[in-house]
Amino acid sequence: MDGNTVAKHLENSPYSFFPQWYDTERPDAIASCLSLGKIALITDNSPSVLAAPARFLEFFASTGDAYERWHFSVFIRFLRLAAFMLSIMFSAFYVAVTTYHYQFIPATLLKTIVSSRSSVPFDPMIEALLMEFVIELLREAGVRLPTKIGQTIGIVGGLVIGQAVVQAGLAGNVLIVSVAAGALSSFIVPNYTMETSLRLLRFVAILLAGFLGYFGLMVFFIVFIAHLCHLRSINREYICLNGVPFYMFLTRSLMPQSVAHPVTDVVAGDGSKHEMRSEAQPCHQHAKPGE
């Protein structure tokens, strides 16, 4: 039995898209989690170990961040978070704009979109869903095939199929760019479990944008934030807001102490200063004793 199988029975919200346990195969990352008062779930004959309580923004941390200058680490984490939202919203934004809000598009760009869609028989929502489905097929084929063949299928298959789809009039050039940008952004997320969650959310966002336009995207974003605030990981907050000012939320959650501040400015969760631990890894989120 794998640790993920056990974790599914311990989740507070089993129907949520988001992982509620942090999984890793690196001993130094788990050691850092344990030093912060988290628990680790180790199963026999399993290469990965799970840690909880997990924080949403921990899934955008890489084990290499602790070894970089904190300025660059902060920048790269903002980049990963932006790529996460871009991957979800890019195709959905295209659908909303081309279906309901084309008056916001500059005239030159609008002409390009109209000319690229002149021979497309599908609605923008169907067009986007079709291309996202093709991307998922290519992604899954690349995983199942042997490594060298899978990489070839992912690159060559994407180019060939994309060009063939445009020439056949099944999709426009602008949509191909949007879908490709969203797919590329999803690969920036370092945690595979979180990356699979955003792949599902992308389809939800496209459907809401196709039926409701910008209003649908607004509803999606509000529900998305509300769900994250409501979510718990072993009865602990999944995203640390709880009355904390937004700037403090950023400095305590998005910018872990070993990455976001110099050694002399490291502050513990209780407000006291302490020296930075050399073994700190992606689980750098501030935890009170016993958390």
| Predicted local confidence at residue 222, as pLDDT | 92
Confidence (pTM) = 0.75
For residue 33, give the H/E element and its range: helix 27-35
The answer, yes or no, to whether residue 42 has pLDDT greater than 90, is: no
The answer, yes or no, to whether residue 225 has pLDDT greater than 50, is: yes
Specify if 132 maps to a domain: yes
Specify if 3 maps to a domain: no
Q: Measuring CA to CA, which residue among 141, 161, 159 is closest to residue 151?
A: 141
| Predicted local confidence at residue 283, as pLDDT | 55
- Looking at the chain, the whole-number percentage of residues with pLDDT higher than 90 is 8
Scan for tokens 């689980």, then name that residue: 283
The two three-digit tokens of residue 31, written as one number: 């050691």
Rounded to whole angstroms, the Cα distance separating 259 from 67 reads: 8
Q: Which of 156-160, 238-242, 243-247 has the lowest mean pLDDT?
A: 243-247
> Phi-psi bin for 192: left (phi > 0), alpha (psi -120 to 50), beta?
alpha
Specify if 188 maps to a domain: yes
User: What is the number of domains present in the chain?
Assistant: 1
| Predicted local confidence at residue 185, as pLDDT | 86
Domain that holds residue 131: 70-232
| Predicted local confidence at residue 220, as pLDDT | 93
| Predicted local confidence at residue 208, as pLDDT | 93
Specify if 155 maps to a domain: yes
Q: Is 233 within 8 Å of 12 (Cβ atoms)?
A: yes
Specify if 290 maps to a domain: no
| Predicted local confidence at residue 99, as pLDDT | 86
What is the band of 219 on the pLDDT scale with cuts at 50, 70, 90?
very high
The answer, yes or no, to whether residue 49 has pLDDT greater than 50, is: yes
Q: Which of 72-76, 229-233, 269-273 has the lowest mean pLDDT?
A: 269-273
Specify if 129 maps to a domain: yes
Q: To the nearest whole number, what is the mean pLDDT of the chain?
A: 77
Specify if 115 maps to a domain: yes
Scan for tokens 């924080």, then name that residue: 55
Scan for tokens 């904390």, then name that residue: 244
Cross-sheet strand order for the sheet of 22-24: 22-24, 49-52, 39-41
Rounded to whole angstroms, the Cα distance separating 66 from 28 reads: 11
The answer, yes or no, to whether residue 101 has pLDDT greater than 90, is: no
The residue ranking higher by pLDDT, 152 or 100, is 100
CA 120 to centroid of chain Cα atoms: 31
Specify if 86 maps to a domain: yes
